[in-house]
């Protein structure tokens, strides 16, 4: 059976989430991505960022690049993509051998022939935990070692027990902790801790994820009309005036993070036995507010909003669309969202403008004419968001993604 692109399925009567043609399309795009990004591996675990054609772009190797590839190809193994085993194995070795600070603990942000940036960032460490958890679930023999190592570093260096949150950036020698506090690293901490709980069954991981959700979703999000501020002071006060890195720390609020949070909230709710009755409604509010304010007239999410809900940066990137797909699919699976109109709309836009169906991978940025541009991003920076856009709807359930993929393959 030939795969059918989502935009060609708008007249299908039954739901896409249960439609075998849609499942076939999702799997085909996932496998196309997995094949494309195999070219990232450049021997002994060195990974390169790829241009649109799949050629390496020179530059240092960042921790989140290495670990996202480990995570993604671990998911690929659950999908039956056996070629991913070498990617997982090479990445696991490289994280331990090159990114890990064997003398002082923790993981360097970027390496080249040696250390290119020795900052110990919470953001990158969360992806180490995610990679270790996914690799463990995929059966990698060194996953337990990496998981235990990074969990100890997170506990000793990054966890702020009083706030119930994780701090951000340490200097290479652990002598200086930056005063900046952020939502993004804590969101990915939630993602990683939920995955670690799924892989190990250790209750502390689920408890920690719950504390992060308590702060950002139960306490902060309703106060700010379901738009979550990104930046905070050393005392965890909202910093309305902060503006840093245009990709990782833009000013204001980021609708893509709202929808990403929604999916994680439902994953936590499911893992907790669905006892937190307020969380599905919170997830729905996050998604509906993002769609209402940030989905542009030409399609795609604008990147940021100001604190009044007005568009601040109207750049359109791939990853918020990916996260919107994952969040809406989770809402639909749990009966928290009425109808598939938005799910189909996001897929129609992605298939028409973002998915490179000839070569694999998704274009990361669109210009005003809906064509790919290289402004903030060069090449196709990673597989992580787009692969999950395919796999989250394909999997059965809203938690335990690798189990859900294997269950789907078994029919």
- pLDDT tens for 173-205 read 999 999 999 999 999 999 999 999 999 999 999
What is the average pLDDT score of the chain?
Answer: 95
Residue among 22, 140, 257, 353 flagged as catalytic: 257
- Structural domain of residue 23, as residue ranges? 16-242+251-409
- pTM of the full predicted structure? 0.96
Q: Evaluate whether residue 5 is within a structural domain.
A: no
Q: Evaluate whether residue 4 is within a structural domain.
A: no
CA distance 44 to 52: 24
Question: Which pLDDT does position 151 carry in this prediction?
Answer: 98
Residue among 188, 231, 353, 385 flagged as catalytic: 385
Q: Is pLDDT above 60 for 3?
A: no
Q: Is pLDDT above 70 for 7?
A: no
Active site residue 176: no
| Contact by Cβ (8 Å): 306, 318 | no
Active site residue 193: no
Q: Evaluate whether residue 109 is within a structural domain.
A: yes
Question: Which pLDDT does position 1 carry in this prediction?
Answer: 30
Q: Is pLDDT above 60 for 355?
A: yes
pLDDT class of 338 with cuts at 50, 70, 90: confident
Question: Which pLDDT does position 44 carry in this prediction?
Answer: 74
- pLDDT tens for 201-247 read 999 999 999 999 999 999 999 999 999 999 999 999 999 999 999 98
CA distance 241 to 288: 26
Phi, psi (deg, nearest 5) at residue 29 = -65, -40
Q: Evaluate whether residue 298 is within a structural domain.
A: yes
In the predicted model, what is the mean pLDDT of residues 85-101? 97
> Residue holding tokens 């929808």?
259
pLDDT class of 45 with cuts at 50, 70, 90: confident
Question: Which pLDDT does position 11 carry in this prediction?
Answer: 54
In the predicted model, what is the mean pLDDT of residues 254-263? 98
Question: Which pLDDT does position 409 carry in this prediction?
Answer: 84
In the predicted model, what is the mean pLDDT of residues 249-268? 97
- pLDDT tens for 118-132 read 999 999 999 999 999
> Which of 19-23, 53-57, 385-389 is the least confident region?
19-23
Alpha-carbon torsion angle 214, 216, 219, 220, nearest 10: 180
CA distance 119 to 157: 13
pLDDT class of 4 with cuts at 50, 70, 90: very low
Q: Is pLDDT above 60 for 150?
A: yes
- pLDDT tens for 129-139 read 999 999 999 99
Number of domains in the chain: 1
**CATH number of residue 180's parent domain:** 1.50.10.10
Which residue has better confidence, 9 or 60? 60
- pLDDT tens for 272-314 read 999 999 999 999 999 999 999 999 999 999 999 999 999 999 9
Question: Which pLDDT does position 13 carry in this prediction?
Answer: 55
Question: Which pLDDT does position 291 carry in this prediction?
Answer: 98
CA distance 38 to 54: 9
Q: Evaluate whether residue 330 is within a structural domain.
A: yes
Cα–Cα separations (whole angstroms), residue 359 to 20, 35, 294: 24, 9, 29
pLDDT class of 385 with cuts at 50, 70, 90: very high
% pLDDT > 70, the chain: 97
Q: Evaluate whether residue 139 is within a structural domain.
A: yes
| Contact by Cβ (8 Å): 170, 177 | yes
Q: Evaluate whether residue 157 is within a structural domain.
A: yes
Q: Is pLDDT above 50 for 2?
A: no
Q: Evaluate whether residue 2 is within a structural domain.
A: no
């Amino acid at each position: 059976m030939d795969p059918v692109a989502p935009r060609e399925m708008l007249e299908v009567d039954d739901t896409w989430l249960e439609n075998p043609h849609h499942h076939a399309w999702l799997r085909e795009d996932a496998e196309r991505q997995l094949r494309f990004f195999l070219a990232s591996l450049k021997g002994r675990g060195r990974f390169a960022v790829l241009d649109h054609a799949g050629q390496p772009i020179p530059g240092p190797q960042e921790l989140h690049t290495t670990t996202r590839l480990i995570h993604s190809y671990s998911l690929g193994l659950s999908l039956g993509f056996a070629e991913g085993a070498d990617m997982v194995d090479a990445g696991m070795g490289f994280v331990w051998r090159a990114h890990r600070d064997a003398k002082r603990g923790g993981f360097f942000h970027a390496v080249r022939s040696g250390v290119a940036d020795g900052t110990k960032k919470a953001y990158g460490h969360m992806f180490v935990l995610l990679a270790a958890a996914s690799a463990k679930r995929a059966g990698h023999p060194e996953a337990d070692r990496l998981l235990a190592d990074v969990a100890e570093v997170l506990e000793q260096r990054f966890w702020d027990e009083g706030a119930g949150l994780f701090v951000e950036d340490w200097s290479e020698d652990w002598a200086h902790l930056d005063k900046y506090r952020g939502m993004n690293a804590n969101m990915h901490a939630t993602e990683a801790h939920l995955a670690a709980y799924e892989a190990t069954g250790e209750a502390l991981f689920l408890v920690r994820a719950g504390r992060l959700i308590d702060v950002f979703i139960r306490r902060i999000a309703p106060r700010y009309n379901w738009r979550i501020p990104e930046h905070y002071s050393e005392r965890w006060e909202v910093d309305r005036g902060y503006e840093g890195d245009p990709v990782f720390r833009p000013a204001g609020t980021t609708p893509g993070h709202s929808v990403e949070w929604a999916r994680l909230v439902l994953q936590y709710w499911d893992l907790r036995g669905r006892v937190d009755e307020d969380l599905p409604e919170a997830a729905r509010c996050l998604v509906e507010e993002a769609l209402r304010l940030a989905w542009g007239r030409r399609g795609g999410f604008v990147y940021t909003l100001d604190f009044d809900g007005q568009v601040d940066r109207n750049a359109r990137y791939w990853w918020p669309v990916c996260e919107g797909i994952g969040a809406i699919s989770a809402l639909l699976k749990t009966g928290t969202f009425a109808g598939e109109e938005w799910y189909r709309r996001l897929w129609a836009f992605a298939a028409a403008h973002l998915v490179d169906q000839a070569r694999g991978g998704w274009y990361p940025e669109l210009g005003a004419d809906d064509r790919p541009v290289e402004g903030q991003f060069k090449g196709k920076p990673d597989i992580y968001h787009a692969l999950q856009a395919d796999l989250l709807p394909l999997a059965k359930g809203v938690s335990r993604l690798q189990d859900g993929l294997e269950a789907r393959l078994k029919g």
